[in-house]
Amino acid sequence: MRNVLIIGAGFSGLAAACFMAKEGWKVSVVEKMDSPGGRARQLISDGFTFDRGPSWFWMPEVYERFFKLLGKNASDYYSLKRIDPSYRIFWKEDVTDVPADFSQILQSFWPVSVLPTVIPFRRYLWRYH
């Protein structure tokens, strides 16, 4: 049996490990932090659990495809619940929300839509929402 060592237990390392194990490799994964997940790992402290990120769960079909390629169903491992607002930024005396509803997102970007960078961003949102 061939051996492979994967450095890093983020999404990429874990996905690579799964596919190589499926192909019959003997896989070892090393991780420098004390828990797996990389950018998406958790911080548990004083009874609270913090997701360190990613902030949004984009492109769920990529994850569904990953499970499918391994002969599994994503729904057997997790379920998704849309939260509203999707994102909240806390300022010193105020909050800024990013709403879940697509038309409300567009509205919230409207005041700055004259900025050149916002036009391609709006096009991107239309394409992938």
Contacts with ligand FAD by CB under 6 A lie at 7-13, 30-33, 38-40, 53-56, 58
CB-CB contact of 4 with 16 (8 Å)? no
Residue 43 beta carbon to ligand FAD: minimum distance, rounded to whole angstroms = 13
Closer to ligand FAD by Cβ: residue 31 or 106: 31
Peptide bond into 85 cis (omega under 30): yes
Pairing of β 26-30 and β 3-7? parallel
Instruction: Check the CA dihedral 93-109-117-11 and report its sign.
Output: positive
Which one-letter amino acid corresponds to residue 95? V
CB of 17 to ligand FAD, least distance (A): 11
Pick the closer one to ligand FAD by CB: 46 or 63.
63
CB of 102 to ligand FAD, least distance (A): 16
